[in-house]
Structure 1
Amino acid sequence: MASRLTKGVLGTLTAAGILAVGFVGGWEGKHNTAYRDIVGVPTICFGETRGVEMGDTATDEECAAMLGDGLVEFEAGIRRCLKNPDQIPDKSYVAFLSAAYNIGQRAFCGSSMARRWNAGNLEGACDALLLWNKAGGRVIRGLVNRRKAERELCLEGSRAQ
């Protein structure tokens, strides 16, 4: 399956890959020691939750590798549910990837973001990012801010078409 984040045998980052690492890494922040997120899930590095247990630690290099591997994995996941993913502008693509990294591949693929893109409505898909502002059943200011930034990035991509 193709990737828009890396190219070549060595996996050199593309412009979209560089944007994704900076954008997602900037939102998640880096924590070298496991902590509980807002709903109590053990989390480490740049928002990694899979297999994390309280007490886990990671080096900066391990955190960078987890983020890179996670983005590639989540990209493969969203590509399976998006029609014509290579037609999505880079900034919009990165916004969707950021959301998927945060909410999970399954949630993204079942979301109005994916449905609206698949129906040919990129701006509507960008607007749907704003719907994902809750954790534990309540609106979270940090998620409101993140989704606004993702939506703006997404709309920048739609305007560049």
Structure 2
Amino acid sequence: MAFSPSLKRKLISAAGAGAIGIATLFLGGKDGVEGRKYEAYKDVAGVWTVCDGHTGKDIVIGKAYTDTECDRLLWKDLQPVKRSVDAQVKVPLNEYQRAALYSFAYNVGTGAFSKSTMLKKLNAGDQVGACEEMRRWVYAGGVKWKGLQNRREMERSMCLAAGADDI
């Protein structure tokens, strides 16, 4: 799946904001890959979720969240993901590649990322092979999901990007 023109423009303009800024734009808001939802819902795995993929015991069922609340939750949720990914990746990456890993780890969890073949390949210097591993992570609850396939294709494109012209 290709990036929407609106999301692509935002990602290119975010290059100066660094990987965390790119990941925030990629994941958040109406154009984000997560697809912002203002009221809590159960995701495909049955987990209560709100906004841009936020999960946790702090979700208030039936509450209508605001954009400001969703932005804050995403920013807060991405900080430990960033720290974990940055600590585990031992090879140099550009900001788009790093943002792709933040998005991936945000979705699958940092524990799964830390044990992944993707990380092993990346740290062994096989960046292309590592990015291709994203295509394997398209299942939730044992079922292959089109939404996850689309997301992984976009993350893979960012992971393989040498720069803004490649997304």
Give the TM-score, by structure 2 length: 0.80
Q: Which runs of 5+ in 1 are unaligned?
A: 1-12
Taking the TM superposition and a 5 Å limit, the aligned residue runs for 1:26-45 are 26-45=32-51
Amino acid at match of 2:111: R
Say whether the 8 Å CA contact 2:97–2:158 is kept in structure 1: yes
1:97 to 97, 102, 123: 102
Alpha-carbon deviations, 1:67-101, whole Å to 9, x = none?
A: 111112211111222214xx111111111111101
- Say whether 1:110 aligns with 2:115: yes
Bigger relative contact order, structure 1 or 2, given CA contacts below 8 A and separation 6+?
2
- Say whether 1:66 aligns with 2:67: no
- Say whether 1:82 aligns with 2:71: no
Say whether the 8 Å CA contact 2:40–2:62 is kept in structure 1: yes
Say whether the 8 Å CA contact 2:20–2:82 is kept in structure 1: no
**2:132 counterpart residue number:** 127
Taking the TM superposition and a 5 Å limit, the aligned residue runs for 1:15-54 are 15-25=18-28, 26-51=32-57, 52=59, 54=61
Shift of 1:58: 2.3
Alpha-carbon deviations, 1:6-42, whole Å to 9, x = none?
A: xxxxxxx823233111112211121121111011100
**1:4 counterpart residue number:** none
Alpha-carbon deviations, 1:92-130, whole Å to 9, x = none?
A: 111111110111110111111111111111111110111
How far, CA to CA, are the matches of 1:138 and 1:70 in structure 2?
26
How far, CA to CA, are the matches of 1:53 and 1:157 in structure 2?
41
Q: Which runs of 5+ in 2 are unaligned?
A: 1-15
Report percent identity of matched pairs. 36
